[in-house]
Every structure is written in structure tokens, then in C-alpha cells.
Chains A and B, each alone.
Chain A
Amino acid sequence: MAWTEYLTPLLQGAWVTVQLTVYSTIFGAILSFAFGIGKLSPNWLIKAVSVGYIEIFRGTSLLVQLFWLYFALPVAGQAIGLDLRLPPVVAGVLALSLNIGAYGAEVVRGAIQAVQKSQYEAARALNFTPRQALFGVALPQAIPEMMPPFGNLAVQNLKDTALVSLISLGDLAFRAEQLRNFTQDSTTIFTLVLFMYFGMALVLTALMKMLERFVGRWRHASN
């Protein structure tokens, strides 16, 4: 096969990769905010659950988490009489989201804690409720600080999607291995695939930079 013939299956795989990245990054972001804020909660139960989630998903390997969701969960389901078999797509997106959500939660927490205490005092003096202060004053100032680390996490997530190929999900890595099996043309295929991931990463980085500028536009207002 000429290398151009590799492109069709690889691009199909790349499209799956893109979708996986988008879904898991978005779900991951939601989890990050939920548990990052949760870790700061005065309610000890919410805080404990948040800390537990963060420690477990940051402290264990993503592949272990993925395999656990895909292989182990059904076994537990059998024991309690529920069908907990997850399709590869669900297991994949779930594992990726949970994993990146835990790392993102620490970013969210750190950024919120970095907001100056004096801002909270000003909010309190104006009689804002703690919730109003968190969402109206602290979070808008924290979010621009979160963007650079979030950019890194997004690219990391893109790279991590390759692991779902190991549960037979048809992403770029899966297609690459499939092709290699068929054609034995390792060098060409993997070089091509590396460049495709690189390209996707560059695009993702550029998008995150744009998001970073958008979120921090009040900082860039000039006279």
C-alpha cells in the first residue's frame, strides 16, 4: 500500500480521537469545577468526597482506571445483579474524564485559593452571600489563572486518548496498530501517526490560547 492509502483509515481514526478529546475534556472540566470547589466546601462530607475523588484518580494510573471500568465493573455488576458492562466508548470517555477531572480539580482549587483575601472582604462588606462572592467575585478572577494549566491538561488528555485503543476503540492509535498488523510498514505508519497527533496538539494548543485570551479579556483592556 502506498502511504496515501493509509490516510483514509487514519483520518477516520483521528476523527474518533478528536471526538473523544472534546467530550472528555468538557466532562473533565465540569468535574474539575465541581470537585475543585467541593474541596473548598465547609461541608465536611462534600469536602471528603472531593478529596477522595481527587486522590484516587490522581494517585492511580489512567490505564488501570480504564481497565477497571471496562473489565472489573461488569464483574461487580454480576455480583449485585446489574448489567454494568460499559461499551468501549463510554468506558473510554468516562475514564478520561474522571482522570483529567481530578487533575483539573486541583488547578481549580489552587486558582480560587489564589484570589486575594481582600476581595472576599470587599464582597462581605457589600453584603454578598458567600456563594455570591464565590461565583461573582472569586471565580471570574480565578478562571484566567486556570487557563495555562488547563491548556496543558487538554493536550495531555489528547495524548491519553490513545490508550482507549487498548479496549478496542477505533481511534487513531487503534487504526495505526490495525494497519501495522496488516501491512507491517511500521516506520511509515507510526511516523505519519506521530505527525497527526502533533498537528492535533498544535491546533488544540492554539484553541486553548484563544480561550485563554477570551476569558481574560478584562485584563487586556487598555487605555
Chain B
Amino acid sequence: MTDPIIKFDKVGKSYGSLKVLDGLDFEVKRGEKVTIIGPSGSGKSTVLRVLMTLETINDGVVYVGNEPLWHEQRNGALVPAGEQHLRKMRQQLGMVFQQFNLFPHMTVRRNIAEAPVKVLGLSRQDANQRAEELLEMVGLADQANKYPHQLSGGQQQRVGIARALAMRPKVMLFDEPTSALDPELVGEVLNVIARLASEHDLTMLLVTHEMRFAREVSDRVCFFDKGQMKEQGTPDELFTAPKEQRTRDFLKAVLNG
């Protein structure tokens, strides 16, 4: 199947008078690893949040796996989606947050196992097993009984990744996963994401400021500015020979800073 797994078709979103997404056309192919870069306010986080159904859209249609996300087909017409439809679509997506957003009142294991039990209907036993396998994968097998506040930021974010993966999504969204971390802790999280990228054919959409990492991991890098995608290309293309002036300005500022 060569249809894109994600497609933004002339999508617009505004907060009052502020246009955050402006007639955005954007696609991601199955299994692709795409990084979005750009200045703050360019709409890059909004793209992820719209996909994760945390934000609505004002114009256009978002497709996930060929079906509209925020709309549903009713009698041949597109109407705003009801909660049932959103829940069905949400199954395919998982998100890792900048601030981790772990549940502080649950142990690490339970943080990961809770949604599989409550949403997917797994038995507590099966969910715990899945949790432990994922903890093993992110290198935190011995922290299963700890509470989030007992862990470092890097450890918490790795738990966040495991928690999202536990739902077996087709698309993983990373919203500035290392921006809230102390510099020494960034590496351990990036390693996990890199391994995820190389070992799985998961579709990954990443928003980050870590340019070197973006270069290593991505199949394609997109530069966003003022709610539109201004330029895209392979990491080599974009980083060494950007076509747009705005892209050049941004990269110069970020890479020299």
C-alpha cells in the first residue's frame, strides 16, 4: 500500500485571530520517520496535537490510514466526528510528551499497563507482562515498582515511550521529547528513539530541536514556518543545501547558537 498513512489536506487551525496552521498540505508514508523542525509558533507541535485528537481543526481534512480523523462519512457527506469515531481512530496513534505526563500516583509498571487493561481489555497479568517487556526494551526493567517522582527526567521519558508503545500504535508522535531534560539525560532518550526507528517499521513523526539526531534518524525532514510547510527533503538535502531563505536563516540561527 503506497497510500500515505497520514495526510493533511489544506488544514487550517486558528486560536482566535492567530493562525496556527494555514492551508497545510502534508503527508507521511507508512513506516516513514519524519522530523519537523521550525521556530516556535510555526505549528509543528500543533500538527502532532491535532493528530492525537488533542486539538480540533477549523478547515480542511486530516486523514489517518485513509480515513478522515476529525470527520466521519455520514450518508456520503463529511460531518464532524463523534467521540466513537475519534476513539476508533485514536487507537492507531501514540504520543510522547515534552513533559512526560506520567501518572504520578501509579508505579512505572502500572503507568504502562493501565491503558492496555482499561482500554484494550487485557488482563492485568498480560498487561503487566507487556509492561515488563517494554521496560526491558527501554532499559528500565528494575524500576517497575518505582513511582515517577523517584525517577530522573530521562528515565521518566523512557517510561513515557514505553507507555505509548504499550498500546501498539501504528504511528508514534514525539513532541519535543528531550526539550525538558537536563543535557546529560538527553542521550539515553535519543538512544531509545533511535533504536525504535531502526528496529521497527513504525511510522514516526518527531518534533525536535536536536538537529544532529534528526539527521541520523529521519528519512525526511520538514521545515515549518507560520503554519505552513515551507520545505522538505532528506536530511542531507535540507541540512546541507536548503532551498528556501527562511530555512537557511533558521538553520543558521539554530546550529550556531
So, do A and B actually touch in the complex, CB under 8 Å? yes
Report if B114 contacts A (CB, 8 A).
yes
10 closest A-B pairs (Cβ-Cβ)? A122-B101, A126-B115, A140-B105, A125-B95, A127-B119, A118-B101, A221-B147, A127-B90, A218-B105, A125-B52
A118-B101, A127-B115 given; 18 more Cβ-contact pairs under 8 Å: A118-B97, A122-B97, A122-B103, A124-B52, A124-B90, A126-B115, A126-B164, A126-B167, A127-B87, A127-B91, A128-B115, A128-B118, A218-B104, A218-B106, A219-B104, A221-B146, A221-B149, A223-B150
Chain A proximity mask over B147-187: 1 for CB below 8 Å, otherwise 0: 10110000000000001100100000000000000000000
Q: Which B residue sits closest to A116, measured CB to CB?
A: B101
Tell me which residues across on chain A come within 8 A of B54, comparing CB atoms.
121, 124-125
Q: Are A137 and B103 in contact (CB under 8 A)?
A: yes
Q: Which B residue sits closest to A141, measured CB to CB?
A: B105
Partner of B53, one of A118, A124, A132: A124
B positions within 8 Å CB-CB of A? 52-54, 87, 90-91, 93-95, 97, 99, 101-106, 114-115, 118-119, 146-147, 149-150, 163-164, 167
Report if A191 contacts B (CB, 8 A).
no
For the complex, what is the distance from the CA of A219 to the CA of B102, rounded to whole Å? 14
Say which size band chain A's interface belongs to.
20 to 34
From residue 64 to 122 of chain A, which have CB atoms closer than 8 A to chain B? 118-119, 121-122
Report if A136 contacts B (CB, 8 A).
yes
Partner of A126, one of B99, B104, B119: B119
For the complex, what is the distance from the CA of A121 to the CA of B48, rounded to whole Å? 12
Max chain B C-beta neighbours (<10 A), residue from A119, A125, A140: A125
Tell me which residues across on chain B come within 8 A of A125, comparing CB atoms.
52, 54, 90, 93-95, 97, 164
Max chain A C-beta neighbours (<10 A), residue from B90, B102, B105, B164: B105
Report if A222 contacts B (CB, 8 A).
yes
Partner of B97, one of A121, A128, A141, A219: A121
Q: Which A residue sits closest to B145, measured CB to CB?
A: A221
Tell me which residues across on chain A come within 8 A of B90, comparing CB atoms.
124-125, 127
Tell me which residues across on chain A come within 8 A of B91, comparing CB atoms.
127
Tell me which residues across on chain B come within 8 A of A141, comparing CB atoms.
103-105
Tell me which residues across on chain A come within 8 A of B118, comparing CB atoms.
128, 132, 136
Tell me which residues across on chain A come within 8 A of B114, comparing CB atoms.
126, 136
Tell me which residues across on chain B come within 8 A of A119, comparing CB atoms.
101, 103
